[in-house]
Amino acid sequence: MGTVGYYVALPFIYGISLLPFPLLYLLSDGIYWILFRLIGYRKDVVLTNLRNSFPEKSEAEIKAIADRFFRWFCDLVLETLKTLTISPEQTRERVRFENVDLLRSYAEQGKSIILVLGHYGNWELAGARYSAEAGIPPLYVIYHPLANTHFDRLVYHMRTRHGTRLYTMKETSKAMIRDKDLLTATAFIADQTPAPERAYWMSFLNQDTPVFLGTEALSKKLDKPIVYIRITRPERGRYVMSVECLVDAPRNTEEGEITEIHTRRLEQDIRLHPELWLWTHRRWKHRRPGSVI
């Protein structure tokens, strides 16, 4: 989409963002029926991912999870647009933040941390909620800039308007080393698909899966504890965000240990509520180098 398309879309994007939540979810229901019931957007990808991840489940169970996922996915997209205009007070109302004292204790010690999470729950709304909390390490999020510069500026504004800072993926290592004396909480969304030859390979959701090693490597290099963020959804439009320390002394761990720990922790959450993970991507498109087909 070019410049003209961006400026045509912008009023609609902000118009959706300004909708009250009841109308937002009414719109979400309509989009669900169009995208998934009529068009079948990425339906085959989602069903294939679910079947391979949960071979023990029946076809009826798989289709029920897929349907719940599609409904949540539509909510997720519109809730993300909502962060363009949502107030800090509204984020506190919509997202309950538990176990915050753990983060305050790190801040009081002047100790920076690495936050690890997945594409699970609503990570965008969680970022806004985190930055609305006082007395905890400031949030830095790693992101991949969009090819369209207009939309990239819009997303940058959306993610930073509550106080969150951003590192691009390319600058992450240098920027974290540069800022090592600042109090920071750097968030890694660690379930993305890395290049197979540079990945750590492990079994995840019953499949041979490449995992980024950057989270582990930087936590060891900078000696920053690994704190996991869990985001659950007790009801529509309401989330609970909680934190727990996974690795307090990263330099005392074996190679691959941190990667195994945070990936297993995410897998545990996905198994509990599979409809809250992002199934639309081809996450298992790569094969382990040297493997036999």
Q: Which two tokens stand for residue 134?
A: 């006082």
Task: Go through 257-280 and write b for each residue having 16 or more CB atoms within 10 A of its CB, e for each that does not.
Answer: ebbbbbbebbbebbeeebbbbbbe
pLDDT at residue 3, rounded to an integer: 84
At residue 1 the predicted structure's pLDDT band, cuts being 50, 70 and 90, is low
* Selected residue with higher pLDDT from 5 and 100: 100
Q: Considering the chain, what is the average pLDDT of its residues?
A: 95
Q: pTM of the predicted model, to two decimals? A: 0.94
Query: What SS3 class is residue 187?
Result: strand
* Selected residue with higher pLDDT from 147 and 22: 22
Distance between CA atoms of residues 31 and 35, nearest Å: 6
pLDDT at residue 2, rounded to an integer: 73
Cα of 186 vs its chain's centroid, Å: 13
User: Is the pLDDT assigned to residue 74 strictly greater than 80?
Assistant: yes
- Please tell me the total number of residues recorded for the chain in this structure: 293
User: Is the pLDDT assigned to residue 182 strictly greater than 70?
Assistant: yes
Q: Report strand pairing: 165-168 vs 226-235.
A: unpaired
Query: What SS3 class is residue 87?
Result: coil
User: Is the pLDDT assigned to residue 120 strictly greater than 90?
Assistant: yes
One-letter amino acid at 281 equals: H
Q: What is the pLDDT of residues 36-56, one digit of tens each?
A: 999 999 999 999 999 999 999
Strand partners, 187: 115, 141
pLDDT at residue 262, rounded to an integer: 98
**Which has the closest alpha carbon to 217: 184, 181, 159, 176?**
176
Distance between CA atoms of residues 206 and 52, nearest Å: 7
Kindly state the percentage of the chain with pLDDT values over 90: 93
Q: Which two tokens stand for residue 274?
A: 């599979």
At residue 4 the predicted structure's pLDDT band, cuts being 50, 70 and 90, is confident
Distance between CA atoms of residues 158 and 239, nearest Å: 19
